[in-house]
């Protein structure tokens, strides 16, 4: 382990752009690095040349060391914009175009971003003209099409000479300097920046490479957004910087198109969430996803039914992993050929865990983590541009976990997803698991509402029509689940709300639950306070994950 960690740390002692140059040198400049959403294949040489070219107009429009927003869908444009920023020593902040003007303005203020790189074609297709108009007073937009039109003879010369003389034409920042800013939750309900260094990102990429065995012939498929750390680090940078071809897709919502593209490209490794993977498999024609050997799933628990469908219909394994944005993001993962259902596998090399007991909770402890991939710190509106490091280098994940004797980790739930009923702590994940076992073909989400007598109550929101609670109760009794974990109230809906990253939208679920249950006036006031807490702690965590209706329509 010591030798492995030393190798990871040694490989991470460079900038992300220099890592791209190293991958091109090792793989071969003419090798295909990515296939874009329109089917166009780009080699390492073409990506590097485009990055050096766009770096010229970008440098003229910004200052050295400036933080710039990048608002692009998953694709070649996002990769080139990122690498151009790195090549010129700018710090990209990944903007979630689905989060709305209010959240984007708050994110920009926290990260001290004044200018945002995007593309006119993207704004038009996604129907984001209104969003851009709302933000124009606070932000200046730089369009890739305009930058391309503004290329000077020197820019074009740099595109040719840059790959040959990278040390002359590109910045070479300290690996421990601020590399990229992503956004996650803040206690005030405003987006909070997560400051990741070049070394943080690269350490995680090389940690994954050491932990998960990949075949030289593997072709990756990533439809997840690059404004989310999972889609950025694991789905995009991991394959490219390790010399593997990746197929990029602009939206995870295109459930009918994605299986067809997997078939056409012969992809063997898919990045998804459990929810999205289920949707893709249901929409897929016979054999359309049979080229896959692995689906890597994160962001939510993988259901047994998902694994069974993948194996039965298409013959691939579902590899479950676990991570948080603050860890760049991957912390643990199962491994091909060694998948332990119910666990997220072992911790990655170099990740150290610390467990702390939680009063009233049994069978799990609160997880703190430390390692080379752990963030530099948070950036908040209270102190714009200032990075506040985690105390002692330890990040509190807020997750309740348990390890078995062989080091395999199980996620029991998030601290905020435990209800306190009559003094006992009940995991909402257990409630959802029970519902899934009884009604495996439906989606279910549990919410916490106030209860005058017992403190809190659990309400199940499901797309199962006319659900029979006695079936839930019987299953729980037969499987040793306490009756307290069986919700007394169930709300049936046409569709359980899902976020753009594939996670359940628990803020919307809580509102549906509240509206579907008759509350007393006192309970209604308590409910409103509870929803305010949820939105402060959860909605901000998922900033940028709820697709705007126009974007969803464009994707579908």
DSSP 227-272: TSHIIIIIIIIHHHHTT-EEEE-S-TT-TTHHHHHHHHHT--EEEE
488: helix, strand or coil: coil
Q: What are the tokens at 230? A: 């999972």
Chosen domain end from 351, 372, 403: 403
Give the model confidence (pLDDT) of 368-393 as tens digits: 999 999 999 999 988 999 999 999 99
Claim to verify: residue 74 and residue 181 sit in the same structural domain: yes
**530 found inside a domain:** yes
Distance, CA of 447 to CA of 465 (rounded, Å): 18
Q: Residue 362: what pLDDT? A: 74
Q: Residue 160: what pLDDT? A: 93
Contact 230, 329 (CB under 8 A): yes
Q: How many domains does the chain have?
A: 2
Q: Residue 107: what pLDDT? A: 94
**172 found inside a domain:** yes
Q: Residue 360: what pLDDT? A: 67
Claim to verify: residue 116 and residue 17 sit in the same structural domain: yes
Cis check: omega of the bond before 329, within 30 degrees of 0: yes
Q: 479 burial class (0-12, 13-18, 19+ CB within 10 angstroms)? A: exposed
Distance, CA of 24 to CA of 440 (rounded, Å): 45
User: Within the chain, which residues score under 70 in pLDDT?
Assistant: 1, 185-189, 360, 415, 423, 499-503, 518-556
Claim to verify: residue 185 and residue 263 sit in the same structural domain: yes
Q: What backbone torsions phi and psi does residue 122 show, to the nearest 5 degrees?
A: -65, -45
For 421-486, the three-class secondary structure string (H helix, E strand, C coil) is ECCEEEEHHHHHHHHHHHCCCCCEEEEEEEECCCEEEEEEEECCCCCCHHHHHHHHHHCCCCHHHC
Helix axis angle, 76-87 relative to 44-61, nearest 10°? 60
330: helix, strand or coil: strand
Claim to verify: residue 131 and residue 252 sit in the same structural domain: yes
Claim to verify: residue 236 and residue 277 sit in the same structural domain: yes
**413 found inside a domain:** no
Claim to verify: residue 389 and residue 485 sit in the same structural domain: no
> How far is C-alpha 75 from the chain's CA centre?
16
Q: Residue 539: what pLDDT? A: 40
**409 found inside a domain:** no
Q: Residue 359: what pLDDT? A: 72
Claim to verify: residue 66 and residue 158 sit in the same structural domain: yes
**417 found inside a domain:** no
Claim to verify: residue 190 and residue 77 sit in the same structural domain: yes
What's the domain range around 290?
2-32+42-403
Chosen domain end from 347, 373, 403: 403
Claim to verify: residue 331 and residue 269 sit in the same structural domain: yes
**91 found inside a domain:** yes
Whose tokens are 């198109």? That residue is 257
Claim to verify: residue 527 and residue 452 sit in the same structural domain: yes
CA angle 337, 340, 345 (to 5 degrees): 90
Claim to verify: residue 447 and residue 366 sit in the same structural domain: no
**82 found inside a domain:** yes
Distance, CA of 371 to CA of 350 (rounded, Å): 6
Contact 137, 162 (CB under 8 A): no
Q: Is the pTM of this model over 0.85?
A: no
Facing residues of 457 across strands?
Answer: 449
Chosen domain end from 368, 403, 438: 403
Q: What are the tokens at 418? A: 């435990």
Q: Residue 538: what pLDDT? A: 43
Q: What is the CATH number of the domain that holds 539?
A: 3.30.300.30
Claim to verify: residue 296 and residue 396 sit in the same structural domain: yes
**410 found inside a domain:** no
Q: What is the CATH number of the domain that holds 137?
A: 3.40.50.12780
Give the model confidence (pLDDT) of 519-544 as tens digits: 555 555 555 555 555 444 444 433 33
Nearest to 199 by CA among 397, 433, 11: 11
Q: How far is CA 125 from CA 22, 72, 119, in A?
A: 35, 12, 10
């Amino acid at each position: 382990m010591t030798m492995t960690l030393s190798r990871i740390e040694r490989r991470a002692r460079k900038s992300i752009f220099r890592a791209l140059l190293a991958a091109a040198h090792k793989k071969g400049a003419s090798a295909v690095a990515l296939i874009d959403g329109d089917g166009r294949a780009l080699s390492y040489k073409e990506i590097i040349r485009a990055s050096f070219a766009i770096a010229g107009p970008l440098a003229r429009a910004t200052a050295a060391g400036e933080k710039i927003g990048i608002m692009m869908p998953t694709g070649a444009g996002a990769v080139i914009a990122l690498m151009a920023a790195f090549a010129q020593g700018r710090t990209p902040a990944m903007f979630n175009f689905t989060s709305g003007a209010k959240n984007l303005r708050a994110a920009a203020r926290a990260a001290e971003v004044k200018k945002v790189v995007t593309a006119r074609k993207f704004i038009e297709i996604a129907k984001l003209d209104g969003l851009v108009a709302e933000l124009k007073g606070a932000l200046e937009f730089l369009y890739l099409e305009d930058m391309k039109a503004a290329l000077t003879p020197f820019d074009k010369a740099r595109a040719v000479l840059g790959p040959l003389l990278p040390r002359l034409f590109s910045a070479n920042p300290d690996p421990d300097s601020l590399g990229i800013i992503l956004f996650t939750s803040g206690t005030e309900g405003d987006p909070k920046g997560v400051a990741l260094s070049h070394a943080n990102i690269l350490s995680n990429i090389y940690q994954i490479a050491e932990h998960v065995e990949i075949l030289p012939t593997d072709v990756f498929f990533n439809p997840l957004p690059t404004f989310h750390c999972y889609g950025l680090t694991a789905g995009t940078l991991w394959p490219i910087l390790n010399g593997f071809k990746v197929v990029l897709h602009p939206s995870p919502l295109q459930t009918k198109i994605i299986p067809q593209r997997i078939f056409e490209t012969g992809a063997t490794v898919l990045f998804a969430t459990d929810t999205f993977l289920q949707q893709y498999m249901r929409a897929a024609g016979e054999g359309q996803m049979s080229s896959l050997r692995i689906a890597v799933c994160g962001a939510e628990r993988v259901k047994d039914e998902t694994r069974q469908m993948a194996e039965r219909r298409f013959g691939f394994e579902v590899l479950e992993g676990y991570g948080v944005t603050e860890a760049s993001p991957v912390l643990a993962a199962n491994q091909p050929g060694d998948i332990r259902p119910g666990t997220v596998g072992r911790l990655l090399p170099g990740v150290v865990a610390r467990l702390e007991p939680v009063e009233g909770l049994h069978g799990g402890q609160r997880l703190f983590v430390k390692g080379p991939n752990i963030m530099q710190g948070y950036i908040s509106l209270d102190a714009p541009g200032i990075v506040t490091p985690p105390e002692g280098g330890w990040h509190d994940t807020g997750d309740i976990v348990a390890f078995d004797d062989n080091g395999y980790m199980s996620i029991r739930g998030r601290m905020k997803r435990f209800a306190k009923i009559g003094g006992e702590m009940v995991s909402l994940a257990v409630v959802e698991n029970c519902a899934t076992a009884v009604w495996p073909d439906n989606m279910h989400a549990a919410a916490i509402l106030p209860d005058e007598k017992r403190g809190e109550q659990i309400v199940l929101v499901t797309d199962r029509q006319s659900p029979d609670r006695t079936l839930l109760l019987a299953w729980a009794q037969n499987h040793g689940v306490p009756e307290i974990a069986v919700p007394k109230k169930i709300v049936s809906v046409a569709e359980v709300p899902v976020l753009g990253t594939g996670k359940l939208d628990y803020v919307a679920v809580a509102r549906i639950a509240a509206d579907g249950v008759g509350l007393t006036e006192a309970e209604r006031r308590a409910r409103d306070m509870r929803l305010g807490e949820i939105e402060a702690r959860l909605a901000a965590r998922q900033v940028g994950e709820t697709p705007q209706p126009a974007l969803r329509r464009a994707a579908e």
